[in-house]
Structure 1
């Protein structure tokens, strides 16, 4: 259980922080950047949930995802080490991405296929879900960059979950736009004439 009885500690005043392993790192460390973007994604989903009153099923899915994002942040904040930690770190499991796939398929079942790219917008819920999607894509890129860094380890399940999440948020945005009926379609070159 996490206990937070003091909000400020002054330990980061010089631009450093500690990973869950206790290892000190810069606040600009790629691992900190990755789990920071995961935290931003979670906050963006929280904003979207302000508009889910008419869709309790979607709200419940988003609530589960917010919890999973804390799991993902904990996973990223605890790099794998050769020597034992003395405790079992929390890791994203493949089943968490599989659940997202099932939910994507369920949401997408009633949505017609796309015949154009769509602009982020439509309803307030859809616009916020598209914002969360773009933030989650950035988190995914940072996780992929971390995974490609020599001597850094990121579980395959964490990267898959991050990739599936942005897909989920895209489909959820379409559901929030009356199952795609209120999507705002991109019109290539629409404003090129003077």
Structure 2
């Protein structure tokens, strides 16, 4: 259980922070950038939810919870020591990726195939979901970069890759099942 009695601790006043295993690193450490960006994404999903209803809101709430799981995973670098940890570390699992894939397939079945790229926009919800999509891609890029120098759970990277796809398809759903998508017209302003 998490208990937050005091919000400020002053432990990071010199520019460092604690990872999930207690190690202290600079606040600009690639691992901190990776899980910090997933936290930014979670906030953007919260804003998108202001415009969502029903099943879409429920799905976005599940994603917000997954993003906290993702942050817990990414903030703990020592996967090879998971078995010796006092408490089993929370890691992303294949089932979370599969759930996103199933949801993408179900949403995509409602849509006509694209014949053009689309511009981010249309409805307010769609615009916010496109912001989420691009933030998910940034979180993915940072996590992939981190994985070149440190151990990163492969399921975390898969999840972020699938999540950006989820946001793309959900943005089309939020645009009247794609009927209100704003199509890109190449060279329109030449």
Fold agreement, TM-score > 0.5 = yes
Bin for the TM-score computed over the shorter chain: over 0.9
Question: 1:132 maps to which residue?
Answer: 132
Question: 2:147 maps to which residue?
Answer: 147
Is 2:97 the counterpart of 1:97? yes
Is 2:154 the counterpart of 1:156? yes
Aligned-pair RMSD on alpha carbons? 0.9
Question: 1:29 maps to which residue?
Answer: 29
Distance 1:166 1:145 in 2: 17
Provide, for residues 19-59 of structure 1, a one-character-per-residue CA deviation record: whole Å limited to 9, x for no partner: 01000000000000000000011111110000013xx0111
Helix, strand or coil: the match of 1:17? strand
Distance 2:27 2:2 in 1: 21
Distance 2:101 2:63 in 1: 12
Is 2:176 the counterpart of 1:181? no
TM-score (norm 2): 0.97
TM-score (norm 1): 0.95
Unmatched 5+ stretches in structure 2: none
Unmatched 5+ stretches in structure 1: none
Distance 1:175 1:142 in 2: 28
Question: 1:60 maps to which residue?
Answer: 58
Aligned residues: 188
Deviation at 1:80, TM superposition (A): 1.8
